[in-house]
Amino acid sequence: MSEIKKCLKNARQSLEDNNKAVEKSGDDCLQQIHTLRQQFNAIFDRLEQRTVAEIEEGNLSLGIKIQAEIDKIDDVTERLQKLSDDWNDGGENNEATSYIGSAKCDDVIWKASVLLQDISKADEYKLSFQPNKVITEILSSLEMLGEVICDGGEKPLPSSDHVFEVEKHAVYNVKVAEDTSICNISGMCCLSTGEFLLSDNYNMKIKLLNNNCKVISSCGVLEYPHDVCLIGERDAAVAVNESSKNRHEIHFFQVRSGMLLKTKSIKLQHECIALTHHSGDIYITTKTALHVYNISSGQDRKLYSDETGGNTVYRCAVSPDGSRIYITNYSHHQLITVSKDGTKLFTLTHPELRDPVGVHVTSPSHMFVSCHKLNTVVQVMVMKDQSQTVKPLVGMKERLTKPRAVCSSTDTLVVGQFENDNIVKIQLKY
């Protein structure tokens, strides 16, 4: 009790410190925006200055052209005025002078007419401004000055072709003083708090592990727990099966205040080897068939069967959206994919996929499968075209001993082993 309270206190303090760091990072973001705005202001100031200078240069250039036209008009007007003055001063009384003056007048009048004609044909001088539409369009299309990224919490899902690698691994002993046999970790699941639930088949117990993989609580099961899965935030279902005594049951447990509490159990009319849950339905394997049990109605029906071997429907996992169920076919070294109504969709075989036991789905495009006799875990990737491919988990081959149960939390993979007191916690490169 004191240990879990201490852990809660430390976790709370860590979150408070994180909250302060978030506030500071928010201030840093605002400062970045302020700096960005200053950069924008400087850019727009430069653009404005250059545009204004262009306008002033345009004013000057057009002004020179207009003044040149005015000068032409003034010149012609002045010449016409001079001829008019000469004519009024008596030039009309002298025949020779009158003739010459008339010719000059006709010439100036013709030039004035041509000038007026040219001016009338010419467009009016003007200066206009056409905004750069690209700037307007780009700015109008933007919703924010940049992307606001909230780091932390759940990591983004990996792409379908992402291949995980092992960063490091650690071994943890899960045997407790009351155990009378070597451990056999047959099932495993992870709580949202980072704690783990294990089914120890040989010691007939369900064990609760904290974030540091230390057993903090255990609860006995008559005989024999084969698998465990979450059915709620802190609720779990355990597959209990003993064929010789015709015991086929699902036991339900709650995790409360670091303790395991059994709430109820139900009896089944068929084997109960492994199970997984999605939206109120528990999918159950019998070694040769897949059943679905609805928690609310209590209805139990068979979805899929394969009688061609002794362990053709061994373990199972369900896709995040519940549309597909993945089944390990231990007898034929296959991973079978069936739809929600039991229709077989895919059969995956691969040299690395030998004696598959546990299967755990981590995302719509990734799952991990434990290969019992190869002493390894492989990753199965569901590609965009729904094809499946197998990749070994680099760095873990021969570091495991007959792996069975497998589950993960974010970028951590935990593996339970056959007839072994140790589980292996693997840190993945995300």
Please state, in angstroms and rounded to a whole number, the distance separating the CA atoms of residues 349 and 368: 15
Instruction: List the 289-294 sheet strands across, edge first.
Output: 274-278, 281-285, 289-294, 300-305
Please state, in angstroms and rounded to a whole number, the distance separating the CA atoms of residues 175 and 47: 73
Tell me the C-alpha to C-alpha distance, in Å, between residue 14 and each of 9, 192, 213, 236, 340. 9, 18, 20, 28, 42
CA 83 to chain CA centroid, nearest Å: 90
The model's pLDDT over 193-205, given as tens digits with 9 standing for 90+, comes to 889 999 999 999 9
Q: Tell me the CB-side half-sphere exposure of residue 139, using CA atoms within 13 A.
A: 7
Which span out of 7-11, 23-27, 48-52 was modeled with the highest average pLDDT? 48-52
**pLDDT tops 90 at residue 160:** no
224 DSSP 8-state letter: -
The model's pLDDT over 97-156, given as tens digits with 9 standing for 90+, comes to 555 656 667 777 787 777 777 777 767 778 888 888 878 777 777 777 777 766 665 566
3-class DSSP string for 285-325: ECECEEEEEECCCCCEEEEEECCCCCCCECEEEECCCCCEE
Model pTM score = 0.66
Count H helices and E strands in the chain, helices first: 3, 24
Please state, in angstroms and rounded to a whole number, the distance separating the CA atoms of residues 168 and 34: 42
The model's pLDDT over 132-144, given as tens digits with 9 standing for 90+, comes to 887 877 777 777 7
Please state, in angstroms and rounded to a whole number, the distance separating the CA atoms of residues 120 and 326: 87
- Record the tokens describing residue 317, joined without a space: 């996992």
Q: Contact at 8 Å (CB) between 370 and 187?
A: no
- Record the tokens describing residue 427, joined without a space: 């840190």
**pLDDT tops 90 at residue 337:** yes
- Record the tokens describing residue 398, joined without a space: 């021969």
pLDDT of residue 399: 79
Please state, in angstroms and rounded to a whole number, the distance separating the CA atoms of residues 177 and 157: 40
- Record the tokens describing residue 263, joined without a space: 């709430």
Amino acid at 333: H
Q: Which residues pair with 284 in a beta bridge?
A: 275, 291
Q: What is the mean pLDDT of residues 357-363?
A: 94
- With CA atoms as reference, report the closest residue to 113 among 72, 143, 147, 160: 72
pLDDT of residue 425: 94
